[in-house]
Chain A
């Protein structure tokens, strides 16, 4: 081994990146080469000196402050339109079909078809637009004032701006969000669908709270809560929602299904292990008590009894464990 190679291997060894067989070879070289041996000492000295500028853990207030600012900026972003979300979902689903040539071919056909249709509609629109311009009636775009979007509709985004050559006329294509209102019973599938969307996506905690509360009440009352993803929506809210109040309602809504649905039971166990609010962890324990004979439940309760950082949670877990019969 020459010294230049040895110098590189000294660096790799110092950072734990040298394979064992090369490390042995390096040791033999260093034993016989004082210059390389000094090189290693200097590198180790550098590592020691570098500790004078240590990595510090960010202060919790700094982390919180940064997170709050980020949340404000995210709240201020316009929501993605339905077709952007739909398009993204299509892309994500088909990105997993790299080994499925037939499906990929279908995608190509569908895409070509959509493109053809889109092109046809575009051509129709252009023809209508050209016909409109050719008419003697002055069109709205010629007016000094812009065409005002419908008063009840918000502009979601602008998809294109084209200035006509040698002209003051500008073509603007925009998409509108039209607020809608719907009224119906909680059994109405459309109402349920909107409540489930709101439980995961509403930026206002109050709206999420209301939607999760209504869905949870439906489940607790024993109304149809099986298909249609209502339980899934409650489990997502229990797992991810930022608000303790929303997570608590989701947990209450899932209570009737802890015994019969293993996914719900796992979601409640996860809340017991991971939720940062001790009230939610305590509520999870009481919901799991009827199924404490499940060995998986007992193991989690045992973990929590030993390691939860809240003394009340540890005590309650032990009490539940002590009341249950032990199965071999």
Chain B
């Protein structure tokens, strides 16, 4: 006999993403909005960690979904929609990283929407920090050093490291998203880890 959740799973499978995409391609705004809701959290999470700024992350979110809306008709189901959306997002993130390199900005802290600094470590639950303010400060400083080291990577190295280390994606998927091969993504990861180890060597 079927397990207890099979009926629910069958239902979930009967409303696959493909139907949503087809309806969005046919002009259904409701279907497109449903797609946005499926991916918005991941998109913002990635853009926020990559840019360190709520303002920049929101801009990337807007541009990404507006582009998706404009070009959803071009989606031909040759890859997953997840990969397609991430391809758009990663390209926008790469553009942002390249602009920063040009302006020589080092975003050492995370900024919220009004430009105030967010203490990211305060959102990380750690009982020890409440009893040891000095240690909390050390972690904050360490976090800033990590961000500074990350900003020294090339945009592609930063992107591959972000997607592999922080977002946990497979190298093959990362290659697809960046329109390159798994082998190239692998080599980029090697370079990124080597550079970061050099940058952070003094912190051990």
Q: Which residues of A contact B (CB under 8 A)?
A: 7-8, 11-12, 15, 17, 42-43, 45-47, 49-50, 52-58, 62-63, 65-67, 69-71, 73-74, 77, 80, 85, 88-89, 91-92, 95, 200-201, 203, 236-237, 239-242, 266, 269-270, 273, 295-297, 299-300, 302-303
Contact = CB atoms under 8 A, between A and B. Distances in A.
Q: Is the interface of A mostly helix, strand, loop or mixed?
A: helix
B62 A73 contact: yes
A15 B189 contact: yes
A42 B124 CA distance: 24
B30 A200 contact: yes
B31 interface: yes
Contacts of B132: none
Contacts of A12: 186
Contact of A52 (B7, B44, B142, B171): B142
Contact of B66 (A17, A54, A55, A70): A70
B113 A62 contact: yes
Given A95-B76, A200-B30, A58 B120 contact: no
Contact of B27 (A69, A80, A299): A80
Nearest to A71: B33
Contacts of A55: 45, 49, 166-167
Contacts of A56: 45, 48-49, 120, 123
Contacts of A77: 69
Interface string B22-47: 11011111111110110011001100
Given A63-B41, A92-B26, 13 more contacts: A46-B196, A54-B124, A67-B40, A69-B62, A70-B36, A71-B33, A95-B76, A200-B27, A240-B30, A240-B31, A240-B34, A299-B2, A303-B7
A219 to B, nearest CB: 19
A265 to B, nearest CB: 10
Given A50-B146, A95-B76, A203 B29 contact: yes
B52 to A, nearest CB: 9
A67 B196 CA distance: 35
Contacts of B73: 88, 91-92
B165 A47 contact: yes
B27 to A, nearest CB: 5
A55 to B, nearest CB: 5
Contacts of A49: 142, 146, 200, 203
